[in-house]
Structure 1
C-alpha cells in the first residue's frame, strides 16, 4: 500500500529531524489506532539511539460513550506493554479537563447551551486545552510535536482548517493559538478505506486488536463493510466521541450500540435527545446574555436545576457514573454566584428596568 509506505517513511524522516518531544492524541478510534501502528512501526526501524520517548495522551472528557472506555483503557495498556517489548519508551496518560471546563459544569453550572456548529465551545475546553496543559506538565514549555489521526475528506470544515494551517512540508500543520506546537498528521491523505487497509497491512504490531475494533465499529454504525478482514466486516462510519454531542443532529453511534444490545445507554440517549430539544426554548433560556445584550442567553437557573435532575435520573437508570462530586460542588458554587450577583438577569425587560433604577439612584446621589 503506497500511502502507508509513504506515511511510515515520512514518520521515520520526521523522527530523524525533529528533536522536540512527541505526543500522540489517542481516541481509541480507527484513525488514531492506525497512527499508533505507524509510529511503533517507524520507531522499530530506527536505531535505539534515535528512539525518543513517546507520550500517548487519551483525553477523558468525562462524556465519552461509557461502554467504549474499557476498550480504550485496555488498548492503552496494550500499547504501553508492546512499546516496552519492542524497545520503545511509551508513556500513556489519561488526561482530564480542569473541573471548571468540564461539560456539565459549563452546561449546568454556567448555563452554556449544548454545542452547535456555530458555537462549538466544547473542542477547545474538553480536548485541546487539556492536551496543552499536559504538554507543559510532562514535557515542559518548549516546542512539541503532536501527532494526530486527522484526515482530509472527513468534512468540508475540517478540510478548510487543514488547508489554512498547512506548512510547507507534507503532513505538517501549525496549531492555531499554540505557536510552540506543530501537528504531524501521517494519515492526512488517507480515505476511510485506506485506514482499514492500513490497519490490516501493518505486521508485527499487535497493540491494536483489529478484530475487536472492527466489531465495535460494526456495532456503532450498523452495516457498512468496506473491506473484508478475516472473520469480520469492519465499518468506516461511526465515531468514538461524546455521548452528549449535539453538534450532530442524530446520535447514530449510541443508537446503534443500543440496538446491538447495550441497553444501559438508553437513558443517556434519551437525556441527550431531551437536552437537544430544549436548547433553544425560551422557557429554558434567559432573554438577556451575560454581557447585558438582548438575545438567547444562558440556561435559566430553574432550567439548570431541571437538567441536573434529569442527568441524575439518567445516571441512576443506566448504572453509569455520569457526573463527579467535584463537578457537582463546582455547579453548586456557580449557581450561588449567579444568585448573589446583582448584575445577573434572566429577562431583558427586568434587566433594563434594574439598569434604569440604578441610573436614577446614581443621579439622585443615593
Structure 2
C-alpha cells in the first residue's frame, strides 16, 4: 500500500500485524489455528491477512493446520447467507491451489436445538434481551463443539478472532482485561483454547481502507462485501464463542444476523437491504414482526411453565400450529427454504411428548387438590 501519511500509518499497522501472525505461526509448537469466520469485514480481514502472511513463508514452513469455521444458525438472512455460501465455495476452491494447509468448515445447530424446533416445537417465545435462548443453542454450542473436538485431537488450539477495540464500548472493556498479558490469552470457558486478536487496534475506517485497496489472495474482489454493507448500512453478528460476546447479537445498532431476530425492535439492516433489490423478501420481515406480537399475546400462552409450575408458559399447542402453518405458507411465497423436513419431524415428536406431559401435569395437580380436600 502506497500513498499519503494516513495510508503509511495503516501500512505500518498492517506490517506489525503480519509480523505478529508470522511469529506466532512459527512458534515452537504445533497448536492448530482456528479462524472464527462470519463473512463480515473484520473476520474477512483476519483471514486475508493470515493467507497473505502464510504466502510470504517458504513452502516448507507452512505446516501448521488452519481451520476456518463459519456458523450457520439456519435462520440467517437469505441475503447474507447467499453471500457467505458463495464466499465459502470460492475459498474451498481457491485455497488448495495456494498450497496452504487451510480447511473450511461450517457449523450448524443440532436439529433438536434449531430456532424453529425450540419455538414451534417446545413453544419457547421469541428471544428477548431478557430471555435470549437462541445464541447459546445456535451459535455458541456448534462452534465450541468444533473447537473442543480440535482440542481433543491436538491438546491445545489457538483461536483467531476479528475483535477490535474500537468496535464498541463493550469490546473495548473486554479487550482491556487482557492488556499487558501477551499475544495469546486463555479462553474463559474453553480449557486448552488460546485467543489471538490480530486486528485488535485497527479502526473501522482502516479495515475498510485495506479491504478496498487490497484484493483477496483467493481471487475476486471485496465488491460484493462492500455492497452488502452499503445495502444494509450495518455490521455483521460476529462469531460468538462465549457469553462475553453474546450481547453483540440483537444490539440496537444496525447489523446482519438472523432474519427471525426479535431481540431488536426493528431489523433495520434487513429492511434496508430489501429496498436495494430484495423486495421479494419483505413478507419475511412482516412475518418476523407478526411473530413477536403473536407469541407475546397472553391468550396464546399456556398458564403453566414447562416444569409444571404455574406462570406464563410456552405457546399453546394451537398457537404453535398456527406459527408452523404460517411459516410453511411464507416458505412457499418467498421460494426460500425456511424450515427443513428434519425440523418438522422433530417438532411433531416434541408435540406428542408435550401433550402427554401436559395431561400428566394436570392429573397430578388434580390429585394434589383432592388430597388437600379442595
C-alpha distance in structure 2 between counterparts of 1:184 and 1:211, whole Å:
28
Do structure 1's residue 341 and structure 2's residue 357 form an aligned pair? yes
C-alpha distance in structure 2 between counterparts of 1:85 and 1:312, whole Å:
42
Give matches, 1:89-168, under 5 Å: 89-137=101-149, 140-141=152-153, 142-163=155-176, 168=181
Deviates further, 1-10 or 304-313: 1-10
Give TM-score, length-normalised by structure 2: 0.82
Do structure 1's residue 71 and structure 2's residue 83 form an aligned pair? yes
Matched with 2:13 is 3
Shift of 1:316: 1.0
The Cα offsets for residues 300-350 of structure 1, whole Å up to 9 and x where unpaired, read as 2222111111211211110000000000000011111110114776xxxxx
Deviates further, 147-156 or 92-101: 147-156
Does the 8 Å CA contact 1:115/1:246 hold for their aligned counterparts?
Answer: yes
> Any idea what SS the aligned residue of 1:42 has?
helix
Does the 8 Å CA contact 1:27/1:240 hold for their aligned counterparts?
Answer: no
Do structure 1's residue 240 and structure 2's residue 256 form an aligned pair? yes
C-alpha distance in structure 1 between counterparts of 2:111 and 2:180, whole Å:
34
The Cα offsets for residues 98-118 of structure 1, whole Å up to 9 and x where unpaired, read as 101111111111112222222
Aligned residues: 342
Do structure 1's residue 61 and structure 2's residue 73 form an aligned pair? yes
Matched with 1:42 is 53
Shift of 1:80: 3.1
The Cα offsets for residues 271-303 of structure 1, whole Å up to 9 and x where unpaired, read as 111112234321222333223444432222222
Give TM-score, length-normalised by structure 1: 0.84
C-alpha distance in structure 2 between counterparts of 1:220 and 1:91, whole Å:
30
C-alpha distance in structure 2 between counterparts of 1:245 and 1:297, whole Å:
20
C-alpha distance in structure 1 between counterparts of 2:310 and 2:372, whole Å:
25
> Any idea what SS the aligned residue of 2:191 has?
strand
Does the 8 Å CA contact 1:75/1:208 hold for their aligned counterparts?
Answer: no
RMSD of aligned C-alpha atoms? 2.7
C-alpha distance in structure 2 between counterparts of 1:57 and 1:246, whole Å:
26
2:42 to 31, 38, 56: 31
C-alpha distance in structure 2 between counterparts of 1:124 and 1:25, whole Å:
16
**TM-aligned CA distance change 1:320 to 1:302, over 3 Å:** same
C-alpha distance in structure 2 between counterparts of 1:105 and 1:166, whole Å:
41
Q: Which runs of 4+ in 1 moved over 6 A?
A: none
> Any idea what SS the aligned residue of 1:179 has?
coil
Does the 8 Å CA contact 1:166/1:174 hold for their aligned counterparts?
Answer: no
Matched with 2:33 is 22
Shift of 1:160: 4.3
C-alpha distance in structure 2 between counterparts of 1:116 and 1:179, whole Å:
30
Deviates further, 313-322 or 274-283: 274-283
> Any idea what SS the aligned residue of 2:165 has?
coil
